[in-house]
Amino acid sequence: MGTFKEPVMNYSQYLFGQLMQAHLGGCGNVPYDILFPKTMCLYDGYEGSEYDVEDKSEYDCMVNYIRNNEMLLIETLGQWE
């Protein structure tokens, strides 16, 4: 029988999730086991986007992305509730 590997969240994905919760507020009540896959999916939209640049801190890039895509993120999170 094969072994099942749990997905692992790296630091960048964790930071993105924490910043998203802090800035959007509404996902603070979502249980972590539900928020985890959502965070991973939404992070994929950020990574490699025009906001993910090397001349700014990772923190600033993520905050900029979240602020400029707030409605999209909220709508996407709402679709999975």
* Full residue range of the structural domain in which residue 46 is found: 34-81
Residue 81 lies in a domain: yes
Domains in the chain, number = 1
The pLDDT averaged over each successive group of 10 residues in the chain (81 residues) is 69 92 73 80 94 97 96 78 53
- Give the pLDDT score at 68: 96
Indicate the pTM of the whole model: 0.81
- Give the pLDDT score at 3: 67
Residue 46 lies in a domain: yes
- Give the pLDDT score at 76: 79
The shares of helix, strand and coil residues in the chain, as percent rounded to the nearest 5, are 65, 0, 35
Residue 44 lies in a domain: yes
Residue 7 lies in a domain: no
- Give the pLDDT score at 35: 77
Q: What gap in Å lies between CA 64 and CA 13, rounded to an integer?
A: 15
Q: In one letter, which amino acid is 75?
A: E
Residues near 58 by beta carbon (within 8 Å), at least 6 away in sequence? 12, 15
